[in-house]
């Protein structure tokens, strides 16, 4: 794979961890990587352009590479700022609680990322050759692969966990409200009794499953378990081997949260259909 395409790909992957995997809103955000994509395309065109050569070609290639690195750094810095804001908006946690400990740890990580990208911006200003640009891009790629991306994924899962819990709580309250309103209409004779019974059961099952998935994700995120943790315990080798087998294929908490949010989204689809049906039964448009 072309090196500069790889830089773009790793940036896009990291950007993707920021957004909620399942959006409950219908608006489509602008693509934050468009500028980087355009600059990568421009670099490829310059490299393939046989009409220019020598110093002129080197200068154009250098400018394109600098633009790509600048875009990646800006996107990364913006990501860090967004995550800092997400952490600030989380509920207040009790001292020494897992939530508080992780939040503090992640805040420090984000501060470290900010310092790193600020330093990279300074280095970028001193780049004068294509070889230097390639070396800086390689350093940036390695940092993102080895340090930034793994940690930012943890932070994304952590912040999304509390968003998930909040929308589940809201969904449950909404379901109870709808059930109450339908019950009143049934008592007044506007609706047949239990006309929405199946839909209510399905909505409740979806929310219960969403809750279960969210709790499972919380157990993984808030009580992380590693092979190193297991090895520190005063246990037999066989016990370590047995526990390690369990750790070989851990569930992805982000995937669990995504499925949980999808259940909530499906629940709101049921709410929407119930609303349409009620309007139909009542002769309303």
Which percentage of the chain shows pLDDT scores above 90?
A: 63
**Cβ contacts of 233-240, under 8 Å, gap ≥ 24:** none
Question: Could you tell me which of 29, 255, 276 has the C-alpha nearest to residue 161?
Answer: 255
Question: Regarding predicted confidence, which is higher, 260 or 46?
Answer: 260
Which percentage of the chain shows pLDDT scores above 70?
A: 76
Rounded-to-integer distance, Cα 81 and Cα 84, Å: 5
pLDDT value of position 144 = 94
Residue 231 has pLDDT above 80, yes or no: no
Read off the pLDDT band of 103 (50, 70, 90): very high
Residue 223 has pLDDT above 50, yes or no: yes
Enter the tokens of residue 140: 């940036």
Enter the tokens of residue 131: 């070889």
Helices of type H across the chain = 3-16, 34-48, 54-88, 98-125, 130-143, 149-187, 197-222, 227-232, 237-247, 253-281
pTM summary value: 0.77
The alpha-carbon radius of gyration of the chain (Å, integer) is 25
Read off the pLDDT band of 3 (50, 70, 90): low
Residue 215 has pLDDT above 90, yes or no: yes
Nearby residues of 14 by Cβ (< 8 Å), 6 or more positions away: 75, 76, 79, 144, 148, 149, 152
Residue 217, CA atoms < 13 Å, CB-side half-sphere: 27
Write down the residue that tokens 């994509």 correspond to: 37
Rounded-to-integer distance, Cα 105 and Cα 112, Å: 11
pLDDT value of position 51 = 75
For 61-101, what is each residue's pLDDT tens digit?
899 889 989 999 999 999 999 999 999 999 999 999 999 99
CA distances from 66 to 43, 51, 282 (A): 10, 22, 64
For 108-120, what is each residue's pLDDT tens digit?
999 999 999 999 9
């Amino acid at each position: 794979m072309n090196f500069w395409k790889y830089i773009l790909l790793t940036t896009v992957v990291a950007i993707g961890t920021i957004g909620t995997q399942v959006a409950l809103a219908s608006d489509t955000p602008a693509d934050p990587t468009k500028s980087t994509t355009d600059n990568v395309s421009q670099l490829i065109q310059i490299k393939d352009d046989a009409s220019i050569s020598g110093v002129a070609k080197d200068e154009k290639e250098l400018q394109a590479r600098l633009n790509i690195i600048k875009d990646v750094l800006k996107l990364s810095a913006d990501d860090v700022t967004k995550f800092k804001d997400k952490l600030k908006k989380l509920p207040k946690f009790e001292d020494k609680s897992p939530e508080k400990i992780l939040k503090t740890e992640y805040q420090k990580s984000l501060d470290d990322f900010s310092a790193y990208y600020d330093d990279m911006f300074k280095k970028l200003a001193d780049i004068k050759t294509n070889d230097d640009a390639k070396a800086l891009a390689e350093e940036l790629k390695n940092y993102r692969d080895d340090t930034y991306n793994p940690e930012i994924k943890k932070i994304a899962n952590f912040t999304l966990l509390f968003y998930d819990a909040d929308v589940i709580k809201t969904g449950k309250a909404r379901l109870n409200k709808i059930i109450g309103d339908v019950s009143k209409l049934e008592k007044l004779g506007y609706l047949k009794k239990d006309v929405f019974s199946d839909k209510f059961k399905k909505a409740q099952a979806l929310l219960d499953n969403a809750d279960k998935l969210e709790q499972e994700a919380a157990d993984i995120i808030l009580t992380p378990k590693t092979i190193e943790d297991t090895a520190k315990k005063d246990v037999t080798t066989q016990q370590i081997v047995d526990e390690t087998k369990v750790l070989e294929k851990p569930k992805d908490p982000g995937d669990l949260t995504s499925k949980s949010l999808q259940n909530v989204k499906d629940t709101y689809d049921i709410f929407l259909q119930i609303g349409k049906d009620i309007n139909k039964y009542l002769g309303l448009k």
